[in-house]
Amino acid sequence: MDMESENPNCDYPFSTLDILVEQTFNPHHFNYAGSDDSAISANLLAVQMEAEKIYQRLKSQTFLIFNPQKTAQIVNAYLESLALLINNAKEYLHDLGDDQLQTEATETLIYELDKLRRRIEKRYQRILISPAPPADKDAPPLYKVLVKLSVDQVAIILKAADDAKLLIARSLSAVFQSIVPYISTEKVKNISWKSARSSTYKFEDRDKMAAIAVLEQLIKRIREY
């Protein structure tokens, strides 16, 4: 028997969750019209159960790894995959229009996916914020600017700057790809620009208020010059 087939860690950990997100909750693949609450609840329960399996698998996969850099690589791989699923779910939400039933289901889906993301980031916070040594020992270190905002709040400001044409680039993704690698937050040292970009599909009110408060402080400072 193939050794890889005997090793569960060789499997893609997000395979089942991929199907749930990209098929069951994809409005272009499945329409909830005519479905009852029990069917939707069952699908959301499946998402919750799969999220727990992924979290437990990550803990198991990193348990005997004593190299922080290697652990960070594994954790970031999980976060990258999760960010893509969140991104897809937010795009679905954008396409739903006035379909209240499917909108509420998709909003709950995004909440569950984001809860898993925050859970992973919290558990591995110390590893993720620790500077990893560069692969090339002769390469110059990448100095980062600490921004005292959350990743989502940074995303709001960058999107607003792009929409207002304060920052000019070929796309919003290019803005994030050019800027995000050079900043860090108090909780996340190495921010994935793709993860930050995915945050722009749906903003929380508390993050918008925090971004507004910071910008108002900047306006006050400029007035005082």
**Residue 181 pLDDT:** 86
* Mean pLDDT of the 3-31 span: 73
Structural domain range at position 128 = 7-135
Give the tens place of pLDDT for each residue, 127-163. Answer: 876 545 544 444 444 468 899 999 999 999 999 999 9
Give pLDDT tens digits for 172-188: 888 898 899 889 888 88
Average pLDDT over residues 165-171: 86
pLDDT confidence of residue 5: 38
Q: Indicate if 125 and 20 belong to the same structural domain.
A: yes
37 and 102 inside one domain: yes
Query: Could you tell me if residue 202 is inside a domain?
Result: yes
Give kind and range of the element (H or E) at residue 102. Answer: helix 100-123
Q: Taking the model in full, what pTM does it have?
A: 0.56
User: pLDDT tens across 53-90, in order?
Assistant: 999 999 999 998 988 889 988 998 999 889 889 888 88
In a domain, 2, yes or no: no
Please report the pLDDT score of residue 154 as a whole number: 95
Higher pLDDT, 92 or 213: 213
CA angle 14, 15, 18 (to 5 degrees): 80
Per the domain annotation, does 177 fall within a domain? Answer: yes
Give the chain's domain count: 2
Domain shared by 118 and 197, yes or no? no
Can you give the pLDDT at residue 128? 78
3-state secondary structure of 80: helix
Q: What is the pLDDT of residue 35?
A: 66
pLDDT tens digits for range 109-118:
989 998 999 9
pLDDT category of residue 33 using cuts at 50, 70 and 90 = low
Closest by CA position to 88, among listed 187, 164, 19, 182? 19
Task: Examine the fold and report which residue of 135, 160, 189 is the final residue of a domain before the chain moves on.
Answer: 135
Is 39 domain-assigned? yes
Q: State how far the Cα of 44 lies from the Cα of 182, in Å rounded to an integer.
A: 37
**pLDDT at 155 (0 to 100):** 94
DSSP 43: H
pLDDT, greater one: 5 or 150: 150
Q: Could you give the CA distance from residue 224 to residue 108 in angstroms, rounded to a whole number?
A: 45
Residue 27: its pLDDT value, please?
A: 81
pLDDT at 216: 95
**Long-range pairs for 75-81 at CB < 8 Å and ≥24 separation?**
75/120, 75/124, 75/127, 75/128, 76/128, 76/190, 76/192, 78/13, 78/54, 78/120, 79/117, 79/120, 79/121, 79/192, 79/195, 80/192, 80/194, 80/195, 81/13, 81/14
**Pair (103, 156) in one structural domain:** no
